Amino acid sequence: MRLHKALAGMAVVALVAAPAMATVPLSYDSTGTGEILLWRIYNELYLGVDWESLPQSQWLATDNNDMLAYEFDIELWTLGEGESITFELEAAWMNAFFTQDIGVYTVDEYGNAVVDYSVLAPVTNVWAGLGDLRGLGMTGTFTATETFGVADYAFDPRPEWDTEFTWYSEADRNDPVGYTADDIHIAFFYTPIENTWLVVVEDLPFELEVEGENISHQDFNDFLFELRIVPEPSSMVLLGLGIAGMAIRRFRK
């Protein structure tokens, strides 16, 4: 595995980790679920559907343990003073039956999370299906001017289940009644794409029994989306001028 190649294009903008969190408690298996493991999803997203035909030395990960090398160890995103950055969210992958509402939240003066779920429309496997979701138009944007976190409202639309959970990127906010508190359910990973992070969601509590069986696998592959910085218009203008300049020089030759 050549991590240096994958990390080469990862530019980090003026964002401050606030505060750091513990390493994601990533399970190494999803035996019995039939779900594709996170490391395999990562390879397919960033190497293409034929990634397994590549030499293994070119794979970005060979198991879930390798994924921890890509972890962006934050719970909240903090901008520099006076900064304003526009982000785009795009649904990338779905393994779960739960419908996912992805929101962005700020913290009010009383310490409460104020969530805006309008950023990324509800994503359900009934509509989107399972697997790669990129290019299907499931995107949303928001402009950040202060510290923010990411939230997920997950609920099961099947009539026989009456299950819903709300998870936050701050682990100490994850305290659903009757379940283990303070678990990490939303985590961020670097990608080979500049200023783009992969956000992964574990939508079930770590201890959830159904008919005496713990059905939570801690595999962090239930729903994945990309969080990317939208270039400022001035950057796009400069890029356009650069392309035009290249065309002129080429024409003159």
**What is the pLDDT, as a whole number, of residue 88?**
95
**What is the pLDDT, as a whole number, of residue 161?**
64
**What is the pLDDT, as a whole number, of residue 234?**
53
Q: Point out the least confidently predicted range of 7-11, 101-105, 145-149, 190-194.
A: 7-11
The number of distinct structural domains making up the chain is: 1
**Quick one: average pLDDT of 46-65?**
95
Mean pLDDT of the chain: 78
pLDDT-derived band at 99, boundaries 50, 70, 90 = confident
**What is the pLDDT, as a whole number, of residue 130?**
75
Spatial distance between the Cα atoms of 219 and 199, rounded to a whole number of angstroms: 13
**Structural domain boundaries enclosing 80:** 3-252
Contact 221, 41 (CB under 8 A): yes
Cis status, amide bond into 19, omega within 30 of 0:
yes
pLDDT tens figures, 56-81: 999 999 998 899 899 998 999 998 88
**What is the pLDDT, as a whole number, of residue 73?**
87
Burial (CB < 10 A; 0-12, 13-18, 19+), residue 210, is exposed
pLDDT tens figures, 1-20: 444 344 444 444 445 444 44
pLDDT-derived band at 196, boundaries 50, 70, 90 = very high
Closest CA to 192 of 76, 100, 51, 70: 70
